[in-house]
Amino acid sequence: MRVIIGLGNPGMKYAGTRHNIGFDTVTALADKYNIKLKDKKFNGLIGEGFIEGEKVMLVQPQTFMNLSGECVGLIAGFYKLEPENIIVICDDINLDTGRLRIRAKGSAGGHNGLKNIIAHLGTEAFPRIRIGVGEKTEGWDLADYVLARFSKDDEPVMRDAIKNAVGAVETWISDDIGTAMNHYNINPNPKPKKEKASKASDTPQVTEASDTSKAAEAQDILQAAETKYTSEVTETPVVCHPEEGS
C-alpha cells in the first residue's frame, strides 16, 4: 500500500491558504479517483482506494502542521510501512509560485511539518513533493503570508501546480520517484534574472533575462481543490518557517 500525506492546518478557516496546498493536492486526488476522505483515525482524515491499480491511503493530518508526524508515525507503525512507500506533500516559500521540487529523501529544510515527520519515522528516507507558494511579500509577517489565500493572478498557476503534483504522485506509483522527478521538477514561472549593464554605457542599465526552463505541457485542467471540513477550530494555527535547502 502507498500512503499519500498532504500537510496543512485543519478547519474551514485555513482552507485554500498557501499553507494548505498539501491538503488541496490530496483533495484533488480524492476527487479524481472517487476516494472519500471520511474516516477519522490515526489523528487524521483518511480515505482509501486505488490509484494506477495500486491500493492507496490518502491522509490529511488533523494535528496542525508542527505535529504532522504524530499522524504519519501512527499509520506507518500500524501498517508496518517502509518509508519509501510514504510520500509527503507540503508548501515551500523558497520555491517560485507553482514550482515543484520532488525528492526521494532529504532533510526537513526548515519545514517544521517535515521535521516532525522525520522525528516520528526516525528517518529522512521518504519521498516528498514541495510545492512553491512564492516568497513572502515585502512587509508581510510570515504567518500572515502563509495563512493567506492566493491572489487571483496566482490561482491558475496553483491549479496547474496541483495538477502537476497529482501527476507526480501517479508517476511515483506507476513508475518510481526518479521518473516523477525527471518529469515534474520544473519551473513554470521562472523569475527574470538581472544582468549587469555593459561598462560602455555611462548610465548603468539593467536588462531582464528569462530563465530557459520550460514548463511541461498542461494536460486536462483540474478544478481547484476545495478542502471540506465541518468541525470548528479553536486552536492556534501552526506555521512552519521553511529555509532554503533539502
23: Cβ contacts below 8 Å, ≥ 6 apart: 6, 7, 8, 15, 60, 225, 227
> Would you say the C-alpha torsion 155, 110, 130, 31 has a positive or negative sign?
negative
Q: Out of 19, 120, 183, 241, which one is annotated catalytic?
A: 19
Tell me how crowded residue 237 is: count the other CB atoms within 10 A of its CB.
19
Distance of CA 234 to the CA centre of its chain: 24
Phi-psi region of 16 (alpha: psi -120 to 50; beta: other; left: phi over 0): left
Task: Please give the sequence-ordered ranges of beta strands (E in DSSP) within the chain, or none if there are none.
Answer: 2-6, 39-41, 44-51, 54-61, 86-92, 100-103, 128-132, 193-195, 207-209
Which amino acid appears at position 209 of this protein? A
Which residues are paired to 86 by β-bridges? 3
The alpha-carbon radius of gyration of the chain (Å, integer) is: 18
> Would you say the C-alpha torsion 45, 146, 119, 81 has a positive or negative sign?
positive
19 is catalytic: yes
- Please identify every residue annotated as catalytic: 19
